[in-house]
């Protein structure tokens, strides 16, 4: 999957940055399984359209519908600057399957370490 365009960017109440992306192909159940390696995926398959959400506590959250080409990504305030490419990389490494998952976990670890360096001491312990 690739991003075709970004439809909307806005800053949310909590300071997070929300972007709506349009993908070149619909989101698949396989992508949701891939996401499970990096955070919490909630699925509501009985909704009028099968809704899902993904939460990576410190980086971003994602909302969308399976089978849709539109997706909403919310970059958490504390990670902005480090996580700008994270969603793009998720899409890229999804193509590679399990090897991609391992690479992506490595990238996530690297982002966490950088976040710890940037965060004030009291917040460092919050980033696992």
Give me the numbers of helices (H) and strands (E) for the chain, helices first please.
Answer: 4, 6
Among 26, 39, 72, 112, binds other proteins (CB under 8 A): 72
Identify the residue among 70, 112, 114, 119 touching other proteins (CB under 8 A).
70
Residue in this structure with the two tokens 């690479």, named with its chain if needed = 103
Specify the residue, 66 or 83, whose C-beta has the smaller distance to other proteins: 66
Helix (H, G, I), strand (E, B) or coil at 77: helix
Q: Residue 42 CB, nearest distance to other proteins (Å)? A: 9
Q: How crowded is residue 41: how many other Cβ atoms within 10 Å of its Cβ?
A: 17
Among 65, 80, 91, 100, binds other proteins (CB under 8 A): 65
How far, in Å, CA of 95 to CA of 127, rounded? 28
Q: Which of residues 90-119 bind other proteins (CB under 8 A)?
A: none
> Which parts of 14-85 fold into alpha helices (H)?
29-35
Letters for 39-58 (x = contact with other proteins by CB under 8 A, - = none) are -----x-xxxx-x-x-----
Task: State yes or no: residue 13 binds other proteins (CB under 8 A).
Answer: yes
Helix (H) or strand (E) holding 115: helix 98-118
Nearer to other proteins, 46 or 125 (CB): 46
Tokens representing 44 are: 């509501």
Interacting residue ranges for other proteins, rule: CB under 8 A: 12-13, 44, 46-49, 51, 53, 63, 65, 68, 70, 72
């Amino acid at each position: 999957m690739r991003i075709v365009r970004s439809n909307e960017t806005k800053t949310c109440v909590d300071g997070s940055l929300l972007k709506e992306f349009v993908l070149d192909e619909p989101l698949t159940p396989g992508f949701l399984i891939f996401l499970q390696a990096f955070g919490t995926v909630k699925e509501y398959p009985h909704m009028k359209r099968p809704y899902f959400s993904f939460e990576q506590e410190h980086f971003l959250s994602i909302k969308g519908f399976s089978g849709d080409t539109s997706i909403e990504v919310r970059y958490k305030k504390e990670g902005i600057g480090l996580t700008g490419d994270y969603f793009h990389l998720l899409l890229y490494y999804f193509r590679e399957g399990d090897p991609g998952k391992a690479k992506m976990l490595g990238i996530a670890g690297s982002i966490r370490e950088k976040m710890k360096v940037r965060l004030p001491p009291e917040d460092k312990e919050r980033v696992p």
